[in-house]
Amino acid sequence: MVQPDYYGVIVEKAKYLMGVNIYGAINTSLIAKQVGVSSSKLNSIFKLYTSITPYQYYINIKINKAQSLLEENISIKETASRMGFDDQCHFSRLFKSKTGVSPSKWKK
């Protein structure tokens, strides 16, 4: 039987990999492969330890970084691009759903 502490290590490794790949596209399957488990196993372990899925965590850290970029007066288009979003409208909708305000209001 796998020890629960091992699961904690998997979650921390996954968080680290998401953090260092924050500017790339979201690919939780690749993260799962890199930590040595299946995607479904990563989802269940991650949710058990954090109460959210790896995808939700990845989105949250991307939005947090986007907030910082916008505060540095980086344009919305450039921020979306840097954060790996091909579609600025999608980025703006996601940003607003997570923060409660649009990226343009956040910049002010």
Instruction: Kindly tell me the burial class for residue 41, based on how many C-beta atoms sit within 10 Å of its own C-beta (0-12, 13-18, 19 or more).
Output: middle
Question: Using an 8 Å Cβ cutoff, are 82 and 45 in contact?
Answer: no
How far is 45 from 13, CA to CA, in rounded Å?
Answer: 12
Residue 2 — very low, low, confident or very high, per pLDDT cuts 50/70/90? low
Looking at per-residue pLDDT, the higher value among 37 and 25 belongs to: 37
pLDDT in tens, 64-106: 999 999 999 999 999 999 999 989 999 999 999 999 999 999 9
Residue-wise pLDDT for 56-65, tens only, equals: 999 999 999 9
Round the average pLDDT of the chain to a whole number and report it.
92
Check whether 3 has a pLDDT greater than 80. no
Domains of the chain are 4-55 (1.10.10), 59-107 (1.10.10.60)
CA 62 from chain centre, in angstroms, equals 5
Residue 73 has a CB neighbour count (10 Å cut-off) of 8
